[in-house]
Amino acid sequence: MKTTHNFSRRDFMKLAGAAAAGLAFSSVPNLAWAAGRDKELNILCWEGYNSDNVLNPFRKMHKGLSLKAESGTDDPSMINKLRAGEIKVWDLINLNQCWARQQMWGEGLIKPISMERFMPYIEKMMPMFYNKEMGINPFALSPDGKELIGMMQRFGPMNFVVNTKKISVDMAEDQGLPMFLDPKMKGKYGLLAWDNWNVMHMCITAGFSPYKEHTPEEVEKFKQTAQTLFANAAMISGDPAQLNQALINGEIDAIYSGGIYTCSVARFEGFNEVHHISPRRGPLEGGKGSLQWFELTSVVNNPDVSPLAEDFLEYVQRPDICHTVAMAEASHNPVTQMSQPEVFNKFKKDELNSFHWDTLEDQMNRSVDYQVVPDNDLLTSIYNEAKRTREG
Amino acid sequence: MSDKQPKKKFSFGPGLVGALSASPFALLMLFGFVAPLLCVVWFGLMPPKTFELLQAPTLENYRTIFEQTYFKSIMWSLGLAAVTVVILLAVCYPLAFAMAKIFRSGTAFITYAIATSLFVSENIRLFGWVIGFMKKGVVGGLLETWFGLQIDSLLYNVPVIVLGMCYVYLPFMLFPLVLGVNMVPDQVREAAFDLGASRWQVFRKIDLPLSMPGVMIGSLLVFVLSVGAISEAKILGGQKVVTIASDIESEFTYAQNWPLGSALSTLFIVLTTIVVFLALARFDLEKLLGKKPSE
């Protein structure tokens, strides 16, 4: 047998070196640097606002605009970007309601927006976001109530999701999150690894509110609950689409921690058996057992903030853009502006059905606001330990 | 007559040219590799849950690591990486031999086919496996349609994580092995056969030792890449196991504990370096790569 390829050791080393260099370069992140902020706008947001359907009309309105939107899958990570120095990069940040008032405002990461400019829009929002008795929903205001710190748009309850061909809505609403501790549920549910939501839901499952300092007994109960839930889960994923797929094809019967946000796309595709559940009762304030979120989009305290930041906030109040935001590709959600007929009339029946419009008011009434958990550090540490030492 | 000596013209000596040539790389390494690494090491010494680099150093984060069960994640990462290396060696060596010594035009086709897979994002490729292996997916659906067999999901277990890692990192083992096997002179093999050596003896005494540079480089590449793997356990394994990369990611994101994440990263870098050096210590790389003669 003859050698047909004559590779020398030198050739070998060259190729090995080239391969190593290629590997090293493949891990270099893309960085975008700002120049001329009047033609630039950078948005850090949850999935949906980064859709071209939402962004392109704004691009057309501002020729030559460099409009970038990056999506995250958890609030703390996005805040960390600002803490890490990206406050000079981003102009808008879109997070769940509690973070602006409870963390970002106090740390000087966001700045107030014009009350005068946005009040006419807020006054037309659904009653839970503005009514004459309450005024503006407190989460959109600074702690002293004087400054407007963001605009509210998408919202929804977030508890768990079932396949109604396997688990009835009535039973799930009645039993609530403790249903997942039933030994019969072993291997029949998937766990959505959105950790900060799971910490709150595991508190509720264990029988107490997450929004207080917990006693050692409660912490121990939380640990046992987390261990059981991890051990009995058939799968864990950070991707709602993967879990919905498993729910639809019968691999699992339910998803622990899920909301209209995570299941609406599957419903819109015709899988009506994918159903979000808001429990009827629980250990939360007023005997409630359900959590709800709404997003607040705030202007970042960027020393050279884009002058278009507030313009974008006003742009997403347009009825056609409200509809586009609500029906963004990755997740379909109700928006606070649906109280206005010119917005509501843009939605078709199947679109409304995708986010449970028929029962939405009931679900929201059963829910309390998502807040920062006081002993989140301790509970997150226990949660991660339970995930790491998972048995089953 | 003047005793003035002619001025010496400034000229670039080989040393200066060498230093200037090396400076872009040295700067790149300094700012792109050494500085961030030092930042990570230093951040690991900052008090937990803080975001400032200029504070009194503490070993609190390392205490937390040793008090909790992070060793499990570390063991999973090291174990999965080791298994991946062993499986890929067994799978790739025969193919590398065929590509280097037997195939002709086929070698180019296989090279392009495997290299092309690298152009597609790892996550997309892994989701392809999910579609194949999920309940009533491509595999389950075909078995049911053709043979009436109903099977459960093949996902969310340790073997499928290993399968995913082997699939993703196969090119990083195969190509160094092909180059390594190419370095084995056919004349030496022919001489061994002429002297009565069996196939096994030729493999053990000639092929394997002379292709060892490829084996070493391939194994190191695959080990270092797969020890930091995160997607396979998440996407295919349904987080059946939690790898250390996943733990580090959690600390930097949900837990908002950058110092602990940095301490975990530092510890893991040190551990990986020790494992790699222990492996290298068993081989004389310079001799393997032909820089010094055999004794």
Q: Write out pLDDT tens, residues A196-216.
A: 899 999 999 999 999 999 999
For residue B12, the distance in angstroms to the closest alpha carbon of chain A comes to 28
Residue B151 is predicted with a pLDDT of: 86
Residue B4 lies in a domain: no
Between the two ends of chain A, the Cα-to-Cα distance in Å is 54
Residues from chain B contacting residue A9 (CB–CB below 8 Å): 183, 213, 289-290
Which pLDDT does position A79 carry in this prediction? 92
Let me know if residue B29 belongs to a domain: no
Long-range pairs, A304-308, Cβ under 8 A, ≥24: A304/A34, A304/A37, A304/A88, A305/A37, A305/A91, A305/A111, A306/A37, A306/A38, A306/A40, A306/A41, A306/A42, A306/A91, A307/A37, A307/A38, A308/A38, A308/A41, A308/A62, A308/A65, A308/A91
Q: Is A173 exposed, middle or buried (0-12, 13-18, 19+ CB in 10 A)?
A: buried
Q: Are residues B205 and B283 in the same domain?
A: no
Token reading at A220: 């121990």
State how beta strands A189-192 and A290-300 pair.
unpaired
Q: Which pLDDT band holds residue A47 (cuts at 50, 70, 90)?
A: confident
Of the candidates B135, B136, B238, the beta carbon closest to that of A236 is on B238
| Beta-carbon separation of A384 and B247 below 8 A | yes
Q: What is the pLDDT of residues B154-212, one digit of tens each?
A: 888 899 999 999 999 999 999 999 999 999 999 999 999 999 999 999 999 999 999 99
What is the rounded average pLDDT for all residues in chain B?
89
* Residue A5 pLDDT class (50, 70, 90 cuts): very low
How many residue pairs bridge chain A and chain B with CB atoms within 8 Å of each other?
Answer: 123
Please, are residues A208 and A220 in contact by the beta-carbon 8 Å criterion? no
Q: B62 with B189, same domain?
A: no
For residue A156, the surrounding DSSP H or E stretch is strand A151-163
Q: A235, B155: Cβ pair inside 8 Å?
A: yes
Q: Which amino acid is at A132?
A: K
Tens-place pLDDT, residues A63-87: 999 999 998 878 888 998 898 889 9
Rounded to an integer, the average pLDDT of A37-55 is 92
pLDDT attached to residue A85: 85
Choose among B104, B179, B241: nearest Cβ to A12. B179
The predicted model gives B255-276 an average pLDDT of 92
pLDDT in tens, A98-148: 999 999 999 999 999 999 999 999 999 999 999 999 999 999 999 999 999
Fold of A37-155+293-358: D-Maltodextrin-Binding Protein; domain 2 (3.40.190)
Residue B138 and residue B283 share a domain: no
Q: Which residues of A touch B212 (CB under 8 A)?
A: none
Separation between Cα atoms, residue B80 and residue B17, nearest integer Å: 46
Query: Structurally, how many domains does chain B consist of?
Result: 2
Whose structure tokens read 């958890």? Answer: A74
Residues B107 and B199 in one domain: yes
- Position A31 confidence tier, pLDDT thresholds 50, 70, 90: very low
Assess whether B91 and B236 both reside in one domain: yes
Q: Are residues B235 and B261 in the same domain?
A: no
Tell me: do B186 and B290 sit in the same domain: no
Taking a C-beta distance cutoff of 8 angstroms, is the pair A230, A201 a contact?
no
Spell out which residues of chain A touch residue B73, defining contact as CB-CB under 8 Å: 388
Q: Which chain A residue's Cα is nearest to B154?
A: A251
Regarding whether B233 and B94 lie in a shared domain, the answer is yes
Confidence bin at B264 (pLDDT 50/70/90) = very high
**Do both B55 and B123 map to the same domain?**
no
Q: Are strands A135-136 and A274-277 parallel, antiparallel or unpaired?
A: unpaired
Share of chain A above pLDDT 90, in %: 80
Q: Which residues of chain A make contact with B240, given a CB cutoff of 8 A?
A: 235-236, 390
Same fold, A37-155+293-358 and A156-290+372-388: yes
> How sure is the predictor about A301, in pLDDT bands with cuts at 50, 70 and 90?
very high
- Which DSSP symbol is given to A48? T
- pLDDT bin (cut points 50, 70, 90) of residue B293 is low
- Best CATH choice for the domain A156-290+372-388 from the list 3.40.190.10, 3.40.50.740, 3.40.50.1220, 3.40.50.300: 3.40.190.10
Q: How many whole angstroms separate alpha carbon B241 and alpha carbon B65?
A: 18
User: Is the pLDDT higher at B237 or at A164?
Assistant: A164
Helix axes B212-227, B258-281, angle to 10 degrees: 160
* pLDDT score, position B66: 93
* Shared domain check, B160 and B63: no
Determine which of A1, A2, A5 to mutate to test the interface with B (most B C-beta atoms within 10 Å): A5
ipTM: 0.71
- Reported as a single tens digit per residue, the pLDDT across A262-298 is 999 999 999 999 999 999 999 999 999 999 999 999 9
| Distance of residue B14 Cα from the nearest chain A Cα, in angstroms | 23
Q: Whole domain around residue B48: which residue ranges? A: 39-68+257-295
Task: Say yes or no: B168 and B287 in one domain.
Answer: no
Q: What is the pLDDT of residues B197-225, one digit of tens each?
A: 999 999 999 999 999 989 999 999 999 99
